[in-house]
Amino acid sequence: MCRLVAYLGGPETTLSSLVLEPEHSLLVQSYAPGEMMSGVVNADGFGVGWYAPWGGEEPAVYRSGSPLWADRSFAGMAAKIRSSGVFAAVRSATPGLPAEESGVPPFASGRFTFMHNGAIEGFRHGPMRALRDCLSDESYAGLLGVTDSETVFAVALDRLGEGAGLGKALEEAVRRVSGVCAGLGRRATLNLALTDGRGMAFVRHSTEGPGNSLYLLEDGERFPGGVVVASERLNGDAGWRAVPDRSLLTVNRERGVSVRPLGT
């Protein structure tokens, strides 16, 4: 189980303003999460992806297999890097999957960045083969590790390659994963996040029972003019609101924020 935070704004913000500085920052959530459904800490690595207008369409990505609290190099640079599009996560490895850098979110391919908070039950014993067998050659060749998260991203990448938008790609990935898991009698918790630096899409979904927590903040006191989406509220701002279970959230610079039930 992981914790994640994403930002899209007109104004640029520092990486540290999202990851390190708030009273319930991602750093705090790495050792003292408040709403995790399984696991106690997120000590199996962390990563940050951000978009720089002078750097082209592809994001810069910094990932480490070490806990966030142990990385002094990131702490030293985070206050000096600014971006209007940021994805960041801390990881608690799914039981049965290795704790190594290849499994640390966010994952990136081309201009797309992806995160997954959740797990596919018994992933390496059935779901892994079924999901990877349906991938295009290109997406399959891009896999670096054996995690459920990277595999779900590959499923979404195939939908993006067919022309789907961010939200549609996530919906179709959820539909595919849910179908495979239903056929094998496996549970999947699928809080998914996808961005191309210009827009963002999120799914809060679980095949059984409630999904993992997810919150939305628009034009917050510390993030004026921006949108923040996080597994747990970063601070006491009264503007935070819960994203409904089994829903799709999309954020677009021109069209703003939209939340609707999945599949509608």
In the DSSP assignment, the letter for residue 37 is S
Burial of 77 (0-12, 13-18, 19+ CB in 10 A): middle
Does the annotation mark 2 as catalytic?
yes
Q: How far is CA 264 from CA 171, 213, 251, in A?
A: 10, 21, 17
Dihedral sign (CA 97, 103, 109, 114): positive
Identity of the amino acid at 175:
R
Distance CA 231, CA 6 (A): 9
Structure tokens that stand for 88 in this block: 């960041």
Structure tokens that stand for 15 in this block: 């990486």
Structure tokens that stand for 26 in this block: 């991602």
Structure tokens that stand for 141 in this block: 């060749």
Q: Cβ neighbours of residue 139 under 8 Å, at least 6 residues apart?
A: 154, 155, 157, 158, 161
Distance from the first to the final alpha carbon of the chain: 28
Query: Which one from 1, 2, 108, 154 is the annotated catalytic residue?
Result: 2
* Cβ–Cβ < 8 Å for 166, 196: yes
Distance CA 39, CA 93 (A): 9
User: Of 55, 3, 4, 23, which is closest to residue 222 (Cα–Cα)?
Assistant: 23
Active-site residue set: 2
